[in-house]
A and B are shown apart, each in its own frame.
Chain A
């Protein structure tokens, strides 16, 4: 909210500059988002035009005699048309500094002008919001008064952020109370005095409440209204606060709202059909032309204030053009109402309109403010010459706030700082609380404008705000043995670190995806999880669905960052599947490598990727995985393996389906691995096995087998053939081609023979090899290659 310092100082006397005031507000919980400095102005005084005559030599110029309190009147030539004798106006004397202009003596068509009459733009006000011409001041101002100082024109405007619980502080007076409390000074409360309340009191029949969403309605009739221009001090305050001045009546309602947070609505009392305003739900089909000229279609969602014919106001939001105050208005009915906040907010959303009034109503105004609002408006209108009738209140009575009682030790117990009862009481009293300390208890009664303070903790926060949060000493808390397991986090951490150690770069991609991702899968014939989870209210179609897999994000990444260098990347995150939705934590890693020319039965890139993936599982589980043929939605059907730990599939790795690579326009070999973190078995601490003390014997065997015999089959047959004497077996080469019989392939296997109980003789080694070959022949149909 825009807070003109000039206005703030009406209620709290302090000599702090704008920056210091901003600091004070921030430490009270009202951060200042911006300090808008006013232009530098000087040399402007209040002057009275004692004579105005046409310039003899120029039709458009007028020559004014201006009394500025000095011995001799000034002669000032002006081009403005809106001046006449008797006007009191701001006068820039010789040497005065205006916006982008310094006043110097000047001769205009033969007459020396000793200054300039000032218009709004020249002192940094929005010109279209004020007189077309010279600013008109009140006649009772003392001539010669320093205009800039008297009106605080040099004072900055703060943009203050007010938290949602403090609707009372969405007002100059509310913020003044805060500052005064912090400074320990008094607040100058604005006057509610009425000189003479004219009979009869406002009619008890003028309002009828038919909805519980209007909690209270203070109505007050005002007669003898004259709609003109509001006094300059009021127009200036409104303008500095960002509110355009309208006329002397509307300005009062805006002024009271900005001053004390209570929005008001003024009805032209003579234009209320039937004389009674009914607060009720709108009926379907009803319409209302609001004062902004728009025709609004209403329905039951809207709470309206209607006369006997039609709605005259959408509660807390917008009034109707029909009962709007106009220059013909002679009598007013003031509405100072308290509406249910959520109802106003829903209407505001439905209408797509948010006003200064609705932004206050929607936060739930304290009931007491309605009484204050009507009284303050009545006071200002009476000062403007109107006659005031006593108000009448409908709906809930304002109740005195209940005292909140709590042990005084709650204050230090919550704050971690000693606070004496006197200190606590002093802080609360500064904020307008009633405070009684009985024995070791504090009884605090919030002031009527504070609807947000309900429990002891709220009161303690008030004390802390005044004492200062910066006076709470930082200390470390006592330690407790953890009651909760950190295992899930530890597992994620280990996975991420293991992949990083293997050369994979972690990515974080958006979990919200376009429907095109799933569509791309469908189009290319790739299976999807049963249901993609849709967001009901997405920001855009680009972010309509929750991701069902981390693979698309990484593929898009690989597509975006194509190049010759191998790309290794991974992501760890949540994926979602309908309808529940089921949420799973998965890690997916991807390697994109340059193409290489290979026969259809070999893929070195896969072997490298599998090696890295096995290393990952070894790190995570402490055990070496076994690979068997597997399946992954995004995997190539013939190049995908499941990695098993103790016989249970833990991860799946494979070459990416070429259809998907095509869809993502990736022209590289891409491999992807995935594991569900919940499937990851616990890490087994590896156990020490002493290596054999006896020498090993290596034998390489070249075998010829049928093409469907796998390396795993061969390795198993070798082990079974020489049980107890094998310390290593590894198929290290595969060959197909003219050197091998049609329909066969050759596999080279290295066998390492070694015993724990003695050195193998050549004869023993030969015997083992014989047994191994027999096993290979029997189990795999393998024969030694010639």
Chain B
């Protein structure tokens, strides 16, 4: 009698489980049969109607049946979980579907090149200093040994705000400004804008960017300059860069050099970027002229040093294969998005 009842319950549970498709249904089944007022409880209540001698046996049978039901439900739950897992693993999407655009800011390629350069020199122990773009003739010319009658000072090449005050034509004024501020040894790098009266075209811009390096200490020589610039250009263009010095003339350095580096466009074999020479010109450099040291209050018999000035815009153009300097100042979002 009880046995039949329990057997029927078991069949009923199995039927319900077979029909169940989710966790909610399973939980409903558990409550219906095993809950506080569920079917098993009802059966358990009927024990009272049995003879006392039969009661322990009946209780045991009910407990066994309840455990069996519990196990069936648990098994069903497990089976369902497994089925759901299989379904999820069977999901397939088109991974080539276009992504939702991420919001992505960027640094201007000029800043990135300046930071790469400054970062390398900082690791060598250089400090990075910044200067004003409006300068006096004293720092822009006089202190740099550029004579009073030099053509740059006649207003053809430089932008004047009033007599004696102009937009700096190079980052070099910071040489003397820093030397005046601190005694040697001194190692500084100056990134920044400079201005010259060049009409804008594919290769010239009245506003451009430079990085100036200055190292003054006892025993500093041209070999250190070449080593530093070689390291710097390898940082900017890659480990196989070579650096070539060619004699040149600047009033504020002696000896002076033009600095060339292997054309990254062709690796030195000659291409359009380098005009076939295999080299690109990146700037000027040399041993700081004794007059400049003297103008800054340094003793040229006690210390010597070097300075270099590198045009960053050209480096950016070569790095990114840009053939027109104006592109750098147009800020076309489509272009900047490709250069970040």
Contacts and interface: CB of A to CB of B under 8 A. Distances in A.
Interface of A: 26-29, 31, 163-166, 341-342, 345-346, 349, 412-417, 455, 457-458, 460-461, 464-465, 469-470, 472-486, 488-490, 492-493, 496-497, 499-512, 533-539, 543, 546, 557, 561, 567-569, 573-574, 576, 581, 583, 585
Contacts, number: 229
Interface string B180-221: 011101111001010101010000001100000001010111
A202 B115 CA distance: 68
A416 B219 CA distance: 9
B142 interface: no
A486 B122 contact: yes
B160 A480 contact: no
Contacts of B197: 537, 539
B107 A500 contact: yes
A552 to B, nearest CB: 14
B254 A461 contact: yes
5 contacts: A469-B245, A489-B128, A510-B329, A511-B133, A537-B160
B21 interface: no
B223 A473 contact: yes
B127 interface: yes
Nearest to B154: A349
Contacts of A501: 105
A31 B258 contact: yes
A583 B133 contact: yes
A476 B227 CA distance: 5
B169 interface: no
A432 to B, nearest CB: 17
B332 interface: yes
Nearest to A504: B105
Interface in B265-305: 287, 289-290, 304
Closest 10 CB pairs of A and B: A416-B223, A29-B247, A342-B149, A461-B255, A416-B221, A163-B249, A477-B224, A500-B105, A489-B128, A503-B103
Contacts of A499: 105
Contacts of B185: 480, 483
A710 to B, nearest CB: 30
Contacts of B290: 455, 457
B161 to A, nearest CB: 6
A279 B254 CA distance: 36
A538 B247 CA distance: 33
A413 B331 contact: no
Interface of B: 103-108, 110-111, 115, 118, 122, 124-130, 132-134, 149, 151, 154-156, 159-162, 167, 178, 181-183, 185-188, 191, 193, 195, 197, 199, 206-207, 215, 217, 219-224, 226-231, 243-249, 254-258, 287, 289-290, 304, 328-329, 331-333, 336-337, 340
B328 A480 contact: no
Nearest to A29: B247
B246 A469 contact: yes
B226 A163 contact: no
Contacts of A29: 246-249
Given A474-B230, A510-B329, A581-B161, A458 B108 contact: no
A484 B258 CA distance: 28
Contacts of A492: 130
Contact of A496 (B107, B122, B328): B107
A506 B115 CA distance: 14
B206 A472 contact: no
B223 A507 contact: no
Nearest to A533: B161
Given A476-B224, A510-B329, A489 B108 contact: no
Contacts of A534: 161
B127 A482 contact: yes
Contacts of A511: 133, 193, 195, 207
Given A465-B247, A474-B243, A488-B129, A512 B207 contact: yes
Contacts of A568: 103, 105
A502 B122 contact: no
